[in-house]
Amino acid sequence: MSNITNEKVLHYIDELYRPSNKMLSNLRIAAEKRDIPIMTRDAEMMMESIIRMSRPKMVLELGTAIGYSAIFFAATDPNLTITTLEISDKMVDEAIANIQEAGFSERIDVQKGDAAELLTKITQKFDLIFIDAAKGHYKQFFNQCLNLAKPGTIIVSDNILYKGITACDSFLESRRNKTIMRRMREYLTYITHLDGVQTSVLPVGDGIAISIIK
Ligand code: SAH
Ligand code: MG
């Protein structure tokens, strides 16, 4: 549950959501039951708009989990291929199984390991990069991703408002959250002030930042 928008507004928007297909719909329900933090319905709608507007060919994702978002991207546009990075062995196994079931094994490459480490070995350029792993490391991830970007590349950072905690101290409950809050504030200041990059910070889902390389 998010503190970002009014609950009633969020509920209303969720009611407007239509899943892309039955497989994704089942996968979403299964993920939500297990508290796996897949993209929220409203964030998914926005990501679909971004994909249809920008028509990326090469997509990079940090944080695969069970493969929901990767399958969603692949289902949205038949011309894109995805490289997705995941640190958990268990998640990687589940993601590969789900991607196979969806029939996208040819277009989605799941790489197992710490994104920070894997990114040092990747050399191709991407059109769209989705940062959705390890909130404390976003600044490092972003800087690494800049090497894999070119003019026009869109870098989307998910969960940047972190249940509203990033913006409001009053949502704070634990020391761990305090560290995430501090790091996330630092990150948003960084990506909104960086030369050569334009960033919008949006209260969609758990907070999404859209950065475009000029
Ligand atoms: N993008 C997915 C959700 C990802 S949840 C979706 O919307 O469907 C975040 C994932 O990031 C978790 O599965 C977690 O294991 C993974 N993760 C956390 N730290 C990581 C790291 N340093 N490198 C790669 N993956 C990481
Ligand atoms: Mg997320």
CA distance linking residue 204 with residue 151, whole number of Å? 25
The residue whose CA is least distant from atom 12 of ligand 1 is: 65
- For ligand 1, what atom is nearest to the CA of residue 85? 24
Q: Which domains does the chain have, with CATH numbers?
A: 7-213 (3.40.50.150)
Distance 54 CA to ligand 1 centre (A): 24
Band of residue 172 on the pLDDT scale cut at 50, 70, 90: confident
Query: What is residue 141's predicted lDDT score, i.e. its pLDDT?
Result: 98
- Phi and psi at residue 180, in whole multiples of 5°? -65, -40
Distance 150 CA to ligand 2 centre (A): 24
- For ligand 1, what atom is nearest to the CA of residue 66? 8
CB 56 within 8 A of CB 80: yes
Q: Which residues contact 52 (CB under 8 A, 6 or more apart)?
A: 76, 77
Q: CA distances (Å), 189 to each of 56, 116, 142, 206, in order?
A: 27, 21, 13, 18
Output b/e per residue, 12-38; b: 16+ Cβ within 10 A.
Answer: eeeeeeeeeeeebeebbeebeeeeeeb
Q: Taking CB atoms and a 6 Å cutoff, what residues make up the pocket around ligand 1?
A: 37-39, 62-63, 65, 68-69, 85-88, 91, 114-116, 132-134
Please return the burial class of 137, using the count of CB atoms within 10 Å of its CB with bins 0-12, 13-18 and 19+.
Answer: middle
With a cut of 60, say whether residue 203 has pLDDT above it: yes
Answer whether 0.85 is exceeded by the pTM. yes
- Closest among 64, 68, 86 to 31, alpha carbons compared: 68
Query: What is residue 113's predicted lDDT score, i.e. its pLDDT?
Result: 98
- For ligand 1, what atom is nearest to the CA of residue 36? 5
With a cut of 50, say whether residue 1 has pLDDT above it: no
Distance 132 CA to ligand 2 centre (A): 5
Amino acid at 146: L
With a cut of 60, say whether residue 2 has pLDDT above it: no
What is the average per-residue pLDDT within 86-115?
98
What does DSSP say about strands 154-158 and 208-213: parallel, antiparallel, or unpaired?
Answer: antiparallel
Indicate the SS3 state at residue 198: strand
Percent of the chain at pLDDT exceeding 70: 98
Distance 152 CA to ligand 1 centre (A): 25
Distance 134 CA to ligand 1 centre (A): 7
CA distance linking residue 160 with residue 208, whole number of Å? 6
Query: What is residue 179's predicted lDDT score, i.e. its pLDDT?
Result: 87
Q: Which residues contact 118 (CB under 8 A, 6 or more apart)?
A: 85, 111
Angle at 68 between CA 64 and CA 71, to 5 degrees: 100
